Amino acid sequence: MPSILADQREQARHYIPASETDIRAMLGVIGKKRLDDLFDHIPEDVRFAEAADLPEELDYEELKAKLAEIASKNRIGTSFLGDGVPDFVPSPVVGPICDIRNLTTAYTPYQPELSQGTLLAHWIYQCSMARLTGFEAVNASLYDRSTSIYEGICAALRMCRGKSAAIIPETLYPGDLEVLATLAEGTEIELIHVPADAETGLIDRKALKAAASETADRLAAIVFPQVNTFGLIEDVDSLANFAAERGCKAIAVIDPLLLGPGGLKAPCDFGKNGADIIVGEAHHLALAPNFGGPGLGLFGVRFSSKDRNGVRAAPGRFIGKAKDSSGRECRVGVLSTREQHIRKDKATSNICSNQAFIATLVGAALLHRGDEGLGQILIKLREKLESAVAQLTRFEGVELAFPNSVSYHEVTFALSKPTKSVLAAARAERSLSCSTSAL
């Protein structure tokens, strides 16, 4: 008697989503005898006569050895790339939580209330971020910092009906500027660039005032980073006030890690009334860099007695507390404005990807570290920055690029020699990874 597994596709050498019985049945329906008959209409001179010359597959142990051999060719160097993607040792709770199979999906449940564990994890993330930032409404994550900035601009345009322009400074990270240009292309959104001041490394205030005056009738938002691409702290108070005085939204690009005890000012306290929208990158609160991704887009808006409608212009999902029909406390999706859940023409965002699993890890990591753990990280960041500046500026021709501006955890140096030649020598000698900036 033949094995009942003989025709199971899972037992085949190569996984094909149809068994031989399935294939024969389908061919019979269309009147064909062989699979090759499906390609009779294609001229023989453009068809492959033989299978592709591919190597044989490796078994598990052979594959591990092969990958290790390839990986050994990598040059692992000390990274000074910066650009808002720091490299920290993950919290010890991250690994075990990654092993919880019920949570390892970034896909959105269409009946979220059935997934109470996932909703609770997202709620913990939201509450942790709300506590750090002072913002009442933080959504259950977006894709990464750059797309969050764009979503923040779109939200500001919805809040300021009839307006189409946003000012973006060139002190944002270069990669973020590239993404913004790509996403805005072909839309009615007008991105007004403002340069950096060559002396201070901060937003050029004269250029900012001029841009705001020229676009006063259509200006919806001013985007500004708390820590810019040169590692300098922008004057967030005056920038937030500047936006408020002109009746447009202040979109603050922040790093939530830097808001811990002993760190930078929370965006809710920027200027007289705080920022209107916050965006940023948060994946480093739980994970180390991984070939440029995945990221975790932070997004938040105000939700208070003064402003209760801003949240309706926000993208993504918001999780809140409720009680079920039996009176038990539970978590629910209180607002979801993605096109997967509501009519497409009513959606505030068509970006369907999110990093909700990473948000789960970040929420857990913040709970584990607590205020004391975050404070210790910030102390070490400051100590290492001060040590690096002291040691590197001892070399002839190396000095701070902006000595009169304030840095917190990243810094930019000016060199007396061409930057490219210095970096080439550093990579050859010490396997370093660095980034360059130009004004």
pLDDT on residue 5: 46
Contact (CB, 8 A) for 146 and 176: yes
Contact (CB, 8 A) for 43 and 398: no
**H/E element, 61:** helix 60-71
What integer is the mean pLDDT of 302-327?
A: 86
Average pLDDT, whole number, for the chain?
87
What integer is the mean pLDDT of 271-280?
A: 96
Per DSSP, the residues of 138-155 read E-S-BS-HHHHHHHHHHH
402 vs 223, 326, 382, CA distance in Å?
22, 62, 17
pLDDT on residue 339: 56
158 band by pLDDT with thresholds 50, 70 and 90: very high
pLDDT on residue 295: 86
pLDDT at 404 over 70: yes
Q: Which two tokens stand for residue 116?
A: 């109470």
pLDDT at 7 over 60: no
Percent of the chain with pLDDT over 90: 60
Contact (CB, 8 A) for 125 and 354: no
Contact (CB, 8 A) for 256 and 280: yes
Residue of higher predicted confidence among 436 and 13: 13
Convert the pLDDT of each residue in 337-385 to its tens digit.
765 566 666 777 766 555 788 899 999 999 999 999 999 999 999 999 9
Q: Which two tokens stand for residue 311?
A: 């949240």
Contact (CB, 8 A) for 411 and 387: no
d(CA 42, CA 28): 21
Cα–chain center distance at 106: 14
Convert the pLDDT of each residue in 377-386 to its tens digit.
999 999 999 9
Convert the pLDDT of each residue in 215-243 to its tens digit.
999 999 999 999 999 999 999 999 999 99
**H/E element, 281:** strand 277-281
**Closest residue by Cα to residue 408 from 224, 242, 241, 257:** 257
- pTM value is 0.83
Vertex 213: Cα angle to 208 and 219 (nearest 5): 85
pLDDT on residue 110: 57
424 band by pLDDT with thresholds 50, 70 and 90: confident
Cα distance between the two ends of the chain: 79
pLDDT at 88 over 90: no
| Bond from prior residue into 294 cis (ω within 30 degrees of 0) | yes
Amino acid (1-letter code) at residue 263:
G
pLDDT on residue 109: 55
**H/E element, 301:** strand 297-301
Contact (CB, 8 A) for 103 and 120: no
Q: Which two tokens stand for residue 296?
A: 């975790």
312 band by pLDDT with thresholds 50, 70 and 90: confident
Contact (CB, 8 A) for 203 and 234: yes
**H/E element, 175:** helix 174-184
249 vs 157, 191, 245, 300, 302, CA distance in Å?
9, 14, 10, 13, 11
pLDDT on residue 6: 46
pLDDT on residue 70: 95
Contact (CB, 8 A) for 357 and 101: no
State the residue for tokens 């500047």: 242
Which of the residue ranges 71-80, 148-157, 373-382, 399-408 would you say has the lowest mean pLDDT?
Answer: 71-80
Instruction: Map out the domains of the chain as residue ranges.
Output: 1-61, 78-88+371-434, 94-366
pLDDT at 317 over 80: yes
Angle between the N-to-C axes of helices 145-159 and 174-184, in degrees from 0 to 180, rounded to the nearest 10: 50
Which 3 state secondary structure label does DSSP give 320?
A: strand
Q: Which two tokens stand for residue 11?
A: 């037992």
Cα torsion 187, 192, 198, 202: sign: negative
What integer is the mean pLDDT of 262-291?
A: 92
What integer is the mean pLDDT of 100-127?
A: 75
pLDDT at 432 over 70: no
pLDDT on residue 343: 66
d(CA 285, CA 290): 14
**H-helix segments, 262-398:** 356-392
pLDDT at 83 over 50: yes
Say which CATH topology domain 94-366 has. Answer: Aspartate Aminotransferase; domain 2 (3.40.640)
pLDDT on residue 340: 59
What integer is the mean pLDDT of 324-347?
A: 78
pLDDT at 277 over 50: yes
pLDDT on residue 85: 78
Q: Which two tokens stand for residue 179?
A: 């993404």
